[in-house]
Chains A and B, each alone.
Chain A
Amino acid sequence: MTDLSPLPITEVVAVSSQDDLQQLVQQCHADSVSMYPLGGQTSLGFGVPARTEGIGIDLRGINQVIDFPVRDLTITVEAGILMSDLNSLLAAEGLMLPLHVPQMSNATLGGVIATNTNGPGRFGYGTVRDYVIGIRALSGDAQVYNAGGRVVKNVAGYDFCKLLTGSLGTLGIITQVTMKLKPIPTRQATVIAPVNDVQHADRVVAELMNSMVRPVAIEFLQGSEFTTVVDAVDQSSAALAIVLHGTDEEVDWMIGKLRRELSSSKVRDSHNLDADSHEQLWSQLCDFAADDTALAVTESRTVSSGCVSIINLALKQHPDCAVQSHMGDGIVTMKLPEDSDAQVSDLVIKTLGPEARRHHGHVVILSAANAAELTTQSVWGDPSSPDFLIQKLREQFDPQRLINPGRFVYQ
C-alpha cells in the first residue's frame, strides 16, 4: 500500500462501479465531506499539501473495457484502468496509446488525463489532449456529464475532453473515456549523440528541427543515472538521445541521414543503440521524473529554445542534479539528489521561474521530499492561466469545493 500521507485522508473507500461512485459522491455532497480521488497514487505529492480531512476514493475498481472497435482505432474504457493493462490490451491488436508516462504499471488512465502527464514521445505523437475524444465525469455535486463521443472528428457541444485534461480532479472525477489510438510502428531505434555542452546540444536540436528526419523524441541527458545505458553521459558530460519510429525502411534511412547530419554538426561518435539498450533507455526516459528518493523534481515548460538557459542555470546552481529535457518541446526536468542542499522553493521562485518566464513559460514542482516547504507560489510558479476564470469554473463544477480541496492553485 502506498503511503497516503501527503493527503489528510481519514479512510479509503474503494468503488467498483460508476453507479457506486455516483452514490458515494452524492453522499459526500450531501454531508459536505471532502474527497480525494485516487488512481494509481503516483502523484499524491503533486500540489500544495492539503489540510482538509476527507475520504480517499480508490477508483481502480472502475476499470472495464466498454467498447474496443479495433478497426476504428478507438477504445472506450473506464478511467480506473491501469496504463499497463490498457497497453497490453492494445498491443495485442497492434495498437498503442502513445502517452509514455512514468510508472505505467501503477498509473491509471484517468489519473494521466487529470494530471496531463506526458512523456518523451510527445515531440512526435502529441500530448494527452490530442487523444481524448470522449469523456464522462462526475461533478462535485454528483452530476454525471459527458462530452465528445466515440468518433475521431466531432464538434458537437463544448469540449469537456479538453477542459478536464489537466484539471487535477477539481472539475469532477473522470469515470470513462474514449481514446484515439495509433498503430504500433514496426521498428523503433535510438541514436545517441554525445555533445560537448548544453549550447552544443541546442545547436544540434535547432538543426534537427529543420531536418527531414522526423524523431519521435529528442532528449537531452545529463547525470550519472544514465551512464548504465549511455556511456557518454555522466555528471560532467551530456548526450542527446534521438528516438525514431517507423517502418524498417524509414528508420534505416533516418538513422543514416541523422548520423551524417550529426557529424556535420560536430558531433563525434554518434551511434545507435541495440534493441535491448534502446528498450532500457526508453523506460528510463519515461520514468525519469518518478523518483521517490529525490529531494525534489521540477519541471520547466518553455518554448524549445528556452531549454538551453534553463539547463545551464540548473547545472550552475546544482552541479549534482540530473537533467532530462524533451528539448524539442521546451520541457526540462531537473532532479535534485537526496543529499542536495538545495532550497527547492527558492530555486523555483527566484531562479528557474523568472528565467522560464523570459521564455514564455513557467516551472512546477512535480514532487518534493519535504512537502512542508511547498507553497502555492513555489509549486505553481507563475501560471499564465487566468485564475479568476478557473475559480469561477470550480464554483460551477464543484460548488462546495469538495474534490481535492486546497491542493491546487485555484483551491
Chain B
Amino acid sequence: MPNGVTPKIVDGLQRIVGPENVLTAQSDRMVYECDGFTIEKNCPDVIVFPTCTEHVSGIIKLCNREDVIFLPRGAGTSLAGGTLAVGGGVMLVLTRMKEIEEINLRDRYAIVQPGVVNIWLTRALAGTGYHYAPDPSSQGACTIGGNVATNSGGPHTLKYGVTVNHVLGVEAVTADGTVIMVGGPSGEPIGPDLVGAMVGSEGTLAVVTRVWVRLTRNPEGTRTMLAVFESVDDATRAISAIIGEGIIPAALEMMDQGILVALEKAFKFGFPLDAEAILLIEVDGIEAGLDAQRDQITDICNRLGAREVRQAADDAERQKLWKCRKQAFGAIGRIASSLVTQDGVVPRTQLPFIFSKIQEISSKYNIRIVNVFHAGDGNIHPVFLFDERNENEVKAVLEAGGEILQACLDCGGSVTGEHGIGVEKVGFMNKMFTDGDIEMMTRLRITFNPDGRLSPNKMLPVAGACGVERIKPSRTVAM
C-alpha cells in the first residue's frame, strides 16, 4: 500500500511550487472531490498547482521518493471520473499552466500548455482563417490537456476527426518524473506512434505539460439544416442514408422529442414540439459545392419521410441552433430532478436498432429516456431522467444503462465514444476486451507507469485493486 500524504510531503510540495500553489484545507480540497462524474467522490489529500514543466517533474519525483499516489486534473469536466482521486494522494491541477506559447500559421500548428481552455485557442485564432478543430460541447470550460487525456470529440468530429487526429506532439512527464518529448510540429516521428498511444490514455501513462496541436483552415462556407421527422426510425434511416451515399457532413446530430421539449422551454427556438426527432446537419467546404450537397441531403431526408427540411437563415440562426445543441443537457435539468447520460457507440447503420432497443429498455425499467446523438458517428447519448431520492429508480437507471451499453457491444459497437473509461466503465472493459487484450494494455501501462502511482484504479480492471463501489448516481451532465 502506498503511503498517505504527510506534513513533510506538503512542505516539499510548497518548496517546489511556492505555498500559494498548494491547497490542504478540507474546504478547499472539497472542490476537487469529483469531476463531471459526480456519482463517486473522494477528496485528494493535497492539491498542487504546478506552473511549469520543472514543477511537474519535481512534484512527481517527490511523490515517488515518498511513495504516495498522484494524478493530474484539468478543469474537471470528465464525465467518467477520469480525475477522481481514488485513494486520495496528490492531485496536480494544471490550470495554472495556461499560456498559448506559439501560433504558427505558415506551418499550421500551435503550442499550448495543458491548462489552456479549448475555446481560448479558438478565440486566439479568430480572424486568422484557421481554427482548432476538436470542439467538445464543454469547450468553454475544458482544457486542452484534458482533451488530450480523454481524446475528446465533439459534434464536428464526423468530418474533422477527434483530438488525436489534431495532436502533433506532446511534452510530458512520465511516472518517474522524466521529461519526454514525443512528436513535434512536423508530426512525423520515427517508430511506434507514442503520441497516438498517449492521447486518450486518461492520465495513466504520463502528465502532459505541453501540446503541439494542428491548426485547420476554416471552411469558406457552411450550410446548416434542420430536418424534422415524424418518427425516430425515419430520422435514423436518413442518417445512415446520407453517409451511405457518400456525403460526410461536418456535423450530423439527432435530438428526439424529449430533448426538443426541454430545449424549447429553455431557448424558445421554435422547434416543432410534435415532431419525434430532428436532425441538425451541417456541411461545409468551398462555396461552389455547398448548395449541391444541401440539395442532395434535403432530397434524402424528404425521401425518407421528413416533414420539413429547412436551412438556417443566417449565421445568427446557425449560432443559436448550435447553442441549443451544445447546451442540451443544461436544458434537460428543467424537466427532471436528476439525470444521467450514457456514451455508447454503434455502427451508423445500427442506429435504428439501438434506438428501438433504448425504447424497449425504457419501458422495461419504467425510466424516462431522452436522446441526443452525435448521430453521424454512431455515438449515442441516451439521457435518463429520474429522481435520485428514489432508490428503486436509481437501481433501475444503473441496470438500464448497463443494458444499453451491452446492446451497443452486441451490435459491434463500443461502451464509450468520447467520455472515456475512467472509473465509471472499468467494469465494461472485460466485456469489450479479452483477458489477452487487457494483459497487453497492462504491459503498456507498466512501461510508462511501472509502480502504478500515477492515476491508480483507472481504465483497466487491475487484479486485486480496490474498485470503487457503485452507490448512487446523481446529476451528471454530458456532451
Interface residues of A (CB under 8 A from B): 69-74, 94-95, 116, 126, 129-130, 139, 143-147, 149-168, 170-171, 182-184, 206, 209-210, 212-214, 246-247, 249-250, 252-254, 301-306, 330-331, 359-362, 364, 380-381, 383-386, 389-390, 392-393, 395-397, 408-410
Contacts and interface: CB of A to CB of B under 8 A. Distances in A.
A94 B433 contact: no
Interface string B147-189: 0001101000100011011000100001000001111111011
B197 A159 contact: yes
A306 B107 CA distance: 9
Nearest to A408: B191
B342 to A, nearest CB: 13
B347 A150 contact: yes
B285 A250 contact: yes
Given A153-B379, A209-B108, 7 more contacts: A130-B161, A162-B197, A183-B247, A210-B129, A214-B285, A361-B186, A393-B444
A144 B348 CA distance: 28
Given A165-B196, A389-B174, A151 B378 contact: yes
Contacts of B200: 155, 158-159
Nearest to A128: B193
A338 to B, nearest CB: 27
B113 to A, nearest CB: 18
A163 B196 contact: yes
> Lowest 6 CB-CB distances: which A-B pairs, in order?
A162-B196, A183-B246, A253-B288, A71-B244, A145-B440, A303-B107
A213 B247 CA distance: 20
B72 interface: no
A60 to B, nearest CB: 24
A156 B432 contact: yes
Contacts of B413: 149-151
B359 to A, nearest CB: 21
A364 B436 CA distance: 35
Contacts of A389: 174, 180, 194, 447-448
Nearest to B425: A156
A393 B107 contact: no
Nearest to B414: A154
Contacts of A361: 184, 186, 188
Contacts of A212: 220, 286
A130 B195 CA distance: 13
Contacts of A330: 107, 186, 188
Contacts of A392: 447
24 contacts: A69-B347, A69-B349, A71-B240, A126-B165, A145-B437, A147-B437, A155-B420, A156-B416, A157-B432, A157-B441, A158-B200, A163-B196, A164-B193, A166-B193, A167-B192, A183-B247, A247-B289, A304-B106, A305-B106, A330-B188, A359-B186, A384-B184, A385-B190, A408-B191
B429 interface: yes
B360 interface: no
Given A94-B246, A247-B289, A151 B192 contact: no
B280 interface: no
Interface residues of B, number: 90
B347 A163 contact: no
Interface in B211-240: 217, 220, 240
Given A183-B246, A214-B217, A155 B151 contact: yes
A116 B378 contact: no
Contacts of A73: 243-244, 348
B434 A146 contact: yes
Nearest to A186: B246
A165 B433 CA distance: 20
Contacts of A390: 191-192, 194
B436 A71 contact: no
A210 B418 CA distance: 31
B377 interface: yes
B417 interface: yes
A246 B286 CA distance: 10
Contacts of B371: none
A10 B462 CA distance: 42
A385 B189 contact: yes
B184 to A, nearest CB: 5
B194 A384 contact: no
A237 to B, nearest CB: 25
A165 B192 contact: yes
Given A396-B443, A396-B447, A158 B192 contact: no
Contacts of A381: 190
Contacts of B183: 384
Given A155-B151, A155-B419, A209-B108, A167 B191 contact: yes
Contacts of B190: 166, 362, 364, 380-381, 383, 385, 409
Contacts of B421: 155-157
B459 interface: yes
Contacts of A360: 184-186
Contacts of A94: 246
Contacts of A147: 433, 437, 441
Contacts of A166: 189-193
Nearest to A256: B288
B304 interface: no
A213 B289 CA distance: 12
B335 interface: no
Name the residue among A139, A252, A254, A385 with the largest chain B CB count within 10 angstroms.
Answer: A385
B180 A386 contact: yes
B346 interface: yes
Contacts of A380: 190
A260 to B, nearest CB: 14
A252 B287 CA distance: 12
A264 to B, nearest CB: 18
A55 B199 CA distance: 35
Given A71-B348, A147-B437, A153-B345, A163 B192 contact: yes
Contacts of B299: none
A156 B192 contact: no
A144 B436 contact: yes
Nearest to B296: A247
Contacts of B186: 301-303, 306, 330, 359-361
A182 B247 CA distance: 9
